[in-house]
Amino acid sequence: IVELPGHPYFVGVQFHPEFKSRPGKPSAVFL
């Protein structure tokens, strides 16, 4: 969860880095 000070909303993501991550190439976060 990401919170921006003074902003009324939060950003939440479901992150599963084990699906496509490699040591030198981390998986992207889907929003």
Q: What is the pLDDT of residues 1-25, one digit of tens each?
A: 567 788 888 777 776 766 667 777 7
pLDDT band, residue 30 (cuts 50/70/90)? low
What residues form DSSP beta bridges with 10?
3
Q: Rounded to two decimals, what is the model's pTM?
A: 0.25
Residue 19 · residue 28 · CB < 8 Å: no
What pLDDT is recorded for position 1? 59
Residue 29 reports pLDDT greater than 70 = no
What pLDDT is recorded for position 2? 66
Domain boundaries, the chain: 1-30
Could you please report the per-residue DSSP string of 1-31? -EE-TT-S-EE-----TTTT-BTTBPPPPP-
Residue 30 · residue 12 · CB < 8 Å: no
What pLDDT is recorded for position 19? 67
